[in-house]
């Protein structure tokens, strides 16, 4: 099954914005593994940024962040409309979802899924990441950057 729109890429970070030139400003970019010392993981902010190809016709959609047990951690909705490309560029849509005071309750694989609003049961995964509980690995990673 395909998502309701073509996803070019998905970024998961602490912060994201677009400057006056259209450049994405991303801070605290997460990789596919979030190595943490304990669960649950409390985040003051989690931002999901999606760069997508605009659809041929208007699409209403829902986005959900699913825990390893498939419970919904966070979600939102949106609408994408067709967009003409500017001369010399590809048409694109930048979708941003910011979730504040979010809790990732356990280690495991978290999935980001989308579905058309009219068919919420037909979810399609567009990204995933792992929360890895590793107290020793986290300590070693943070020891490389001592606080003065």
What is the average pLDDT score of the chain? Answer: 90
Over residues 65-118, the pLDDT tens digits come to: 999 999 999 999 999 999 877 766 777 889 999 999 999 999 999 999 999 999
Give pTM, 2 decimals: 0.87
pLDDT of residue 26: 95
Over residues 54-70, the pLDDT tens digits come to: 888 999 999 999 999 99
Higher-confidence residue of 125 and 36: namely 125
pLDDT of residue 86: 73
Sequential DSSP letters for 78-113: EEE---PPPTTS---EEEEEEEEEEEE-SSEEEEEE
Q: Is the dihedral of CA 5, 11, 13, 16 positive or negative?
A: negative
Residue 53 has pLDDT above 80, yes or no: yes
d(CA 3, CA 42): 29
CB 84 within 8 A of CB 56: no
Q: How confident is the model at residue 22 (pLDDT cuts 50, 70, 90)?
A: confident
Q: How confident is the model at residue 148 (pLDDT cuts 50, 70, 90)?
A: low
- Unique residue bearing structure tokens 């500017």: 86
pLDDT of residue 146: 59
């Amino acid at each position: 099954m395909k998502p309701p729109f073509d996803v070019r890429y998905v970024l998961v970070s602490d912060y994201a914005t677009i400057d006056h030139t259209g450049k994405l400003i991303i801070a605290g970019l997460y990789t596919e593994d979030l190595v943490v010392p304990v669960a649950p993981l409390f985040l003051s902010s989690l931002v999901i940024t999606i760069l997508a190809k605009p659809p041929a016709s208007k699409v209403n959609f829902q986005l959900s962040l699913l825990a390893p047990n498939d419970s919904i951690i966070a979600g939102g909705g949106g609408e994408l409309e067709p967009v003409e490309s500017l001369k010399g560029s590809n048409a694109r849509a930048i979708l941003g979802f910011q979730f504040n005071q979010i809790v990732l309750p356990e280690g495991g694989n978290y999935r980001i899924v989308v579905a058309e609003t009219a068919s919420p049961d037909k979810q399609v995964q567009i990204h995933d990441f792992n929360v890895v509980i590793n107290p020793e690995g986290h300590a070693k990673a943070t020891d490389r950057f001592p606080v003065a």
